[in-house]
Amino acid sequence: MKIKFILVTVLCVLYFASCGKSLPDGELVIENSKNFKIRVNGRTREGTFYIPLTYDETRSYSLVFALHGASHTGAEFQKTTLFDPMAEEHDVIMVYPDGIGRRWDSAEDTAFFEAMIKAFSGKYSIDTSRIYLAGFSAGAIKAYELAVVLPGRFAAIAPVAGAMRADADRAALVPTAVLHIHGKRDEEVPFVGLPEWKLLSAPESVELWKGVNGATGEGEEFFRSRTAIGLAWEGQGHTVAQIFDDDCAHYWPPYASELILDFFYNNPARPGRLVIRRDGLPLTCAIGTVIPLRADITQSEGTSPVEEVTWYTNGSQAAVSKKAPWESEWSVNLGGVRRLTAVARLADGTELRSTRNPFLLVSSSLSKDADTAGAETLLTVVDAFSTKIEDSTLEAKNAVDGDIYTRWGSEWTDNESLSLDLGSPCTVTALTLYWEMAYGKEYCIETSMDKESWTIVAQKNDGLGSIEFLSFPATQARYVRIRGIRRATEWGYSLFEVFIYGKK
């Protein structure tokens, strides 16, 4: 079916091109399986999209629109958010539309979204009760606007660093699940509001929707990461939630994508919620480690009972449990980044999928030195320091604090570095670098005994970002330095976490 659809699409494009005619309004054209075009009111609109590799037309999928900020594009936002890998786990089709002139202030935007909803729902197996909007900055403001002008069309919205307009038609609002994420240090769309743009504050935006949804009370905490706290309220079957971050400025927080897809998956509510327990799970381990797998399942009264839970690692089955308390074990047999997911099968045939899924960084025998092969352990870093940082919240120690939501961020120049102190001389054999989106295209790893004289032990000339593993011949060192040579982005160098392997 998929091949047939692609052939028909290509023939349509060739036909209209050969006739010198533009596409008719509402016609969805797919290019290269990742770009789309659609004609709306005589104008061709574009964007990118992502279909899960395991797409099955006999299943129902959620449809998520992700709206970029001003001066950006859908393709750029796609790279920033990293929604796509999680879309595989949640049965989600992602769409990243382009605003006209890289903005979201056109009177044609409403018709654009109506056309996309109709077209994607016609081409793919979409559950029309599970269509969602996420957006950043101008895209977040547009998400709020679309919830007003297209009431009831979206099951939930998730604005990040945006706000409701003060002059919105409140009489048009209908109950809708809302997750609002905002940094209190945001200077572009201030947390306290922007009267000259007629924007409410972040708390006012949340309170407005609490009123629409009939949500009251103190709120239940569902997320905490150092300076960020998430609270949620329930009302009329529609959740209102906020994550306010004391130290976050105007950027997409590292926890946003995971929490947004978790929020969307569970709104409207499913027959239950499946969560992989993180206690007992290491962030990094070696091949051969036996990992305990445990899952918590909460279900509404009267729903079909759970028959079995299956755990997966990077999509491959790892273990199965057929009875409560839903526990098993996984003997790690492959290195690299191993993401854990789980699926609970209910007696009536429905499934519950885990969200907010953990990952492990698995080290094999990374050393090239036979005398130390297989002997690596995770070395403790006692101190961290760096060259100039972007601001005071992105300090060096964030890269070794064990929290994957905090990060070190350098100034926006080349030749910046992060140095780590092991406290005493150790045998060092390998590193794992977990990059933020500002990564190093070219960088080297250096070691030193005295913090004065440095030796290059590894160099990367084609860095790809995300999570990178580097191994090198065993070397004695007290200090390890990651020295940036050339940035991959306009920003500086930024690392969520660094792990050093070796032995004392």
pTM of the model: 0.84
Contact 501, 428 (CB under 8 A): yes
Average pLDDT over residues 416-424: 97
* Average pLDDT over every residue of 185-191: 96
Which residue do the tokens 């996984």 mark?
A: 330
Kindly report, residue by residue over 205-256, the tens digit of the pLDDT: 999 999 999 999 899 999 998 889 999 999 888 999 999 999 899 989 989 9
In the chain, the domains with their CATH numbers are 2-269 (3.40.50.1820), 273-363 (2.60.40.10), 377-503 (2.60.120.260)
> 204 is written with which tokens?
């006012």
Q: Report helix, strand or coil for 274.
A: strand
- In the predicted model, what is the mean pLDDT of the chain? 91
What pLDDT is stored for residue 376 in this prediction? 67
pLDDT tens track for 337-392: 889 999 999 999 999 999 999 988 887 654 434 344 445 688 999 999 999 999 88
Are 305 and 350 within 8 A, CB to CB?
no
d(CA 402, CA 468): 17
Q: In the prediction, which pLDDT does 466 show? A: 82
For residue range 11-69, what is the model confidence (pLDDT) as tens digits? 344 344 434 456 788 899 998 889 999 999 999 999 999 999 999 999 999 999 999 99
- Structure tokens given for 449: 């005994």
What phi and psi values does residue 24 have, to the nearest 5 degrees? Answer: -70, 155
The answer to whether 335 and 362 are in contact (CB under 8 A) is yes
Whether 197 shows a pLDDT value over 90: the answer reads: yes
Interatomic CA distance for residues 132 and 199, integer angstroms: 22
Distance CA 264, CA 284 (A): 29
Three-state DSSP class for residue 227 = coil
Question: Is residue 336 classed as helix, strand or coil in its secondary structure?
Answer: strand
Whether residue 7 is predicted with pLDDT greater than 70 in this model: the reply is: no
List the beta bridge partners of residue 36: 30, 47
* The predicted structure's pLDDT at residue 375: 54
Q: What is the pLDDT of residue 19?
A: 41
Report, as an integer, the average pLDDT of 482-498.
94
Give pLDDT tens digits for 156-167. 999 999 999 999
CA dist 236 to 30, 132, 168, 191, 311, Å?
A: 39, 18, 22, 27, 33
